[in-house]
Amino acid sequence: MNIRVLSFGVSTDGYGAGPNQGLENPLGVRGPELMEWFFPTRVWRRMQGQDGGETGVDNGMAERGFERIGAWILGRNMFGPVRGPWPDESWKGWWGDEPPYHVPTFVLTHHARQPLEMAGGTVFHFVTDGIESALAQAKKAAGDRDVRIGGGVATVRQYLQAGLIDELHLAIRPVLMGSGESLWAGIDMHALGYEVAEHIAGERAMHVILRKR
């Protein structure tokens, strides 16, 4: 069982999201450029119920992102744009009736809410007592499979700084974001014990796998 960040797009200048995130721009302005290695893949097209798509290196890396995952953890902003207490139960994520998780998915929030069962096996659990509690619950749910920390940037940074992530697969994109959420600012990955274990040139990104030394 490993705690993993997978298929996480990062710009050449180190941003994992663009500026001005919100309902219109979940990943920030120009943020989708971080995932433009993913959108042409067969994996992505299947997620959209479409045929075709590329089957090269980038697609292979995207496939790895869904193997052996028994639970997900998402930050509140990755679940939705709602801030503060939940006004009602109407927001059910960015993904429609059938989210792409298909396993128990733990959402970090400061505001309690009943679990939400979606089509296709995804159940959103809302965790109000911190990242370590969310991880403990996710590990229990995942059994001998892995826990995937989905994001966003702030959530990945919190788990990194707590030393709780075993592996990160980053897709380093040849784009400049300029501003937004930096993955690296104020984080010393060497001091935290990470090194690049593997790197693979994809069609639209350099894939790097980071693990603890």
Sheet strands side by side (includes 104-108): 116-117, 123-127, 104-108, 69-74, 146-151, 3-11, 167-173, 206-212, 194-201
- Are 146 and 1 a contacting pair, CB within 8 Å? yes
User: How many angstroms separate the CA atoms of 1 and 119, rounded?
Assistant: 26
- Are 134 and 124 a contacting pair, CB within 8 Å? no
Measured from the CB atom, the residue of 16 and 93 that comes closer to a second copy is: 16
Measured from the CB atom, the residue of 116 and 168 that comes closer to a second copy is: 168
For the bound state, the minimum distance from the C-beta of residue 152 to a second copy, rounded and expressed in Å, comes to: 18
For the bound state, the minimum distance from the C-beta of residue 53 to a second copy, rounded and expressed in Å, comes to: 21
Measured from the CB atom, the residue of 92 and 158 that comes closer to a second copy is: 158
User: Applying CB under 8 A, does 13 fall inside the site for a second copy?
Assistant: yes
Distance of CA 171 to the CA centre of its chain: 12
- Are 106 and 138 a contacting pair, CB within 8 Å? yes
Binding pattern for the stretch 138-177 against a second copy, x by CB under 8 A and - elsewhere: --------------------------------x-x-xxxx
Measured from the CB atom, the residue of 164 and 206 that comes closer to a second copy is: 206
Other beta carbons within 10 angstroms of residue 120's beta carbon come to: 12
Measured from the CB atom, the residue of 23 and 185 that comes closer to a second copy is: 185
User: Applying CB under 8 A, does 127 fall inside the site for a second copy?
Assistant: no
Structure tokens at 174: 């040849």
Measured from the CB atom, the residue of 132 and 195 that comes closer to a second copy is: 195
User: Applying CB under 8 A, does 212 fall inside the site for a second copy?
Assistant: no
For the bound state, the minimum distance from the C-beta of residue 33 to a second copy, rounded and expressed in Å, comes to: 10
User: How many angstroms separate the CA atoms of 132 and 152, rounded?
Assistant: 17
How does 102-117 read in b/e, with b if 16+ C-beta sit within 10 Å? Answer: bbbbbbbbeeebeebe
| One of 74, 118, 156, 210 touching a second copy (CB under 8 A) | 210
Restricting to residues 178-197, which ones interact with a second copy according to CB under 8 A? 178-179, 182-185, 187-192, 194-196
| One of 4, 30, 157, 169 touching a second copy (CB under 8 A) | 30
The kind and range of the H/E element at 38 are none
- Binding stretches for a second copy (CB under 8 A): 12-14, 30, 170, 172, 174-179, 182-185, 187-192, 194-196, 199, 201-202, 206, 208, 210
